Amino acid sequence: MMFRKLLILHMLALFFWPCVASALVSKPTDDSRELQLQEMLILFLLPDMRETLGEEYSKHLKTTPDLFPYYIDIEHVERLNGFRGYDFLITLEATPTVGPHIVVGKDRFIFEISPTVNVKLLKFEHIKGPDRNDFPSNYLYLLK
Q: What is the tens place of the pLDDT at every residue in 83-137? A: 888 999 999 999 999 988 899 999 999 999 999 889 999 999 999 989 898 889 8
The burial of 65, by beta-carbon neighbours within 10 Å (0-12 exposed, 13-18 middle, 19 or more buried), is given as buried
Domains of the chain: 34-142 (3.10.450)
Phi, psi (rounded to 5 degrees) for 15: -65, -40
For the stretch 1-11, pLDDT in tens is: 676 666 666 56
Residues in the chain: 144
DSSP per-residue letters across 9-63:
HHHHHHHHSPP----PPPPP-S--HHHHHHHHHHHHHHHHHHHHHHHHHTTTBSS
SS3 89: strand
For the stretch 27-48, pLDDT in tens is: 777 889 988 989 999 999 999 9
